[in-house]
Structure 1
């Protein structure tokens, strides 16, 4: 009987935890799990891969840099067949990728070659995509550019938040890996080169990138709000000396909603409360309903916001 395939797994987040379990379910010998120390400044809303590994008695390493000669030598001594990277946040450089005899594979949270790079789910929501998914691909020096071996698509509904879509892509990652792993282990999985001209590379995002520009179209504003809604930092704006964080919204068509006109000083973007609900008119005249918010870091009922700030409606122009 041949020995089981031996793998070293680089993993973090929910995708890392679920995909590690898939490898174990298929009998892969996971010799080591490489993961991250949790950042005390980050909202840790996801499962810890280190806890899963320890539950299964798998050794865990948390190097600041896995590409050091000393750590590369440690992994060489384990003689792995495969590397798997599941939402591990550091790049594996060529010397490290040369260690596994049968190659290294990464799970990416988009339908490659679209949305290569960082936070692909958030970028997909920001751009109003109606579909995304997960892709297992061979790791090469260039990020997210290697041969594709499996993909699983999931829908993005019009009001889905990035957190909700991330949950879908976690399941998509599990499904894609579970489906292709027998063929990958047997050496029969297809490897298809992606056409990188059909996608783009995106960088990371910062909390300050969530600032709302109400002069933009309503759909664009709504996409930003849902792309950074909790568990992410949230979209925000300042009004009358207060900082308002918008945590949830719906994009609506309300042609019968009457707004004061330009003669009253409300010809552009504005907030208005009606029957306990808060609406924002954006730069294209489209309407966004704000369903959840914080006022100066404290939860507030959206419909009460205009009166608390001294007017209804309130202009959102500078």
Structure 2
């Protein structure tokens, strides 16, 4: 952009770390952010991400926190901002057609589209044993994650990465993807690549109950579940005699087999294991019982009492 060109105006829907980082990219790229639409920071939520509101306050950017993305008031405010472009960076609400008609809109999604469309893409990728994921900037349509792809950046998922660790990589990938494509996006020359919806799949949101372990499954699947929901997520859990045991840290125990032990929690040589359906085990280095850390000796005593 030359000194005689008028900066592009944008309305940005943003939340979470990706919202903060991508909003910073727009500002660094000379975009006039006329309005940010975000969510109130909740003190009762397990917040382990940065605050979009704090960034707006620091940068003097007008922001609003509407409860309903379909409200006529929000539509009027977005129209009044007269944006050339709109962006959605991990905003939690779907944008209705009336909003999408205001200006060309682009969404940052935490996967390599068309893979893992929908909610919690990083968690689903880890759960399914994917070895690569990334971030995709795409055109927004009424159908979620269905528009043409504008930019992508991939990151590896290492064998022992948790979803939290992978999300840190995806956050950087989102920033890089937006930074690289922003000049051409502002110039109107950004590519539009096909988002082939015959590939990949759509996934819904996850709840803490989805972390329940089925020890009959192969060890790799159980381990993937642990990695997908490990803290700061609620964690993979199992229940015994009304007590909920949550795995905090674990590793796949190589080629060690469970020596014909029944599937479930076990203590061997003062170490905690999770025996799985294929006879392989998880080595559990940190376990809680109803929220309190439990030692191998304590668990062994409880298992003996329940036998």
Distance in 2 (alpha carbons) for counterparts of 1:221 and 1:169:
23
> Higher mean Cα deviation, 87-96 or 66-75?
66-75
Report the counterpart of residue 89 of structure 1 in structure 2: 92
User: Cα distance, 1:117 vs. partner?
Assistant: 0.5
Question: Structure 2 stretches of 5 or more lacking a match?
Answer: none
User: Cα distance, 1:135 vs. partner?
Assistant: 0.2
After superposition, where does 1:31-46 map in structure 2 within 5 Å?
Answer: 31-46=34-49
Question: Structure 1 stretches of 5 or more lacking a match?
Answer: none
Report the counterpart of residue 3 of structure 1 in structure 2: 6
Q: Deviations over 1:1-24 (max 9, x none)?
A: 111010011000000000000000
Name the CA shift for 1:166/1:305 in 2 (closer, same or farther; >3 Å). Answer: farther
Question: Among residues 268, 292, 304, which one is paired with 1:298 in the alignment?
Answer: 292
User: Cα distance, 1:38 vs. partner?
Assistant: 2.9
TM-score normalised by length of structure 2: 0.94
Distance in 1 (alpha carbons) for counterparts of 2:291 and 2:157:
29
Question: Among residues 50, 53, 58, which one is paired with 1:50 in the alignment?
Answer: 53
Distance in 1 (alpha carbons) for counterparts of 2:258 and 2:284:
17
User: Is the contact between residue 240 and residue 309 of structure 1 (CA under 8 Å) also seen in structure 2?
Assistant: no
User: Cα distance, 1:310 vs. partner?
Assistant: 4.1
Q: Deviations over 1:171-197 (max 9, x none)?
A: 000010001101101111101121101
Distance in 1 (alpha carbons) for counterparts of 2:60 and 2:301:
55
TM-score normalised by length of structure 1: 0.91
Name the CA shift for 1:193/1:55 in 2 (closer, same or farther; >3 Å). Answer: same
Question: Among residues 79, 82, 87, which one is paired with 2:82 in the alignment?
Answer: 79
User: Is the contact between residue 33 and residue 60 of structure 1 (CA under 8 Å) also seen in structure 2?
Assistant: yes
Question: Among residues 67, 70, 84, which one is paired with 1:67 in the alignment?
Answer: 70
2:256 matched to 1:248? no
Report the counterpart of residue 143 of structure 1 in structure 2: 144
Q: Deviations over 1:214-271 (max 9, x none)?
A: 111111111111111111111111113321111222112234x663x4xxxx3x3143
Distance in 1 (alpha carbons) for counterparts of 2:298 and 2:135:
40
SS in 1 for 2:225: helix
Distance in 1 (alpha carbons) for counterparts of 2:110 and 2:298:
37
Name the CA shift for 1:90/1:258 in 2 (closer, same or farther; >3 Å). Answer: closer
Name the CA shift for 1:310/1:194 in 2 (closer, same or farther; >3 Å). Answer: closer
Report the counterpart of residue 280 of structure 1 in structure 2: 274
User: Is the contact between residue 135 and residue 148 of structure 1 (CA under 8 Å) also seen in structure 2?
Assistant: yes
Report the counterpart of residue 160 of structure 1 in structure 2: 161
User: Cα distance, 1:53 vs. partner?
Assistant: 1.1
User: Is the contact between residue 258 and residue 279 of structure 2 (CA under 8 Å) also seen in structure 1?
Assistant: no
User: Cα distance, 1:300 vs. partner?
Assistant: 2.4
Distance in 1 (alpha carbons) for counterparts of 2:188 and 2:201:
30
User: Cα distance, 1:25 vs. partner?
Assistant: 0.5
User: Cα distance, 1:67 vs. partner?
Assistant: 2.2
2:195 matched to 1:202? no
Report the counterpart of residue 134 of structure 1 in structure 2: 135
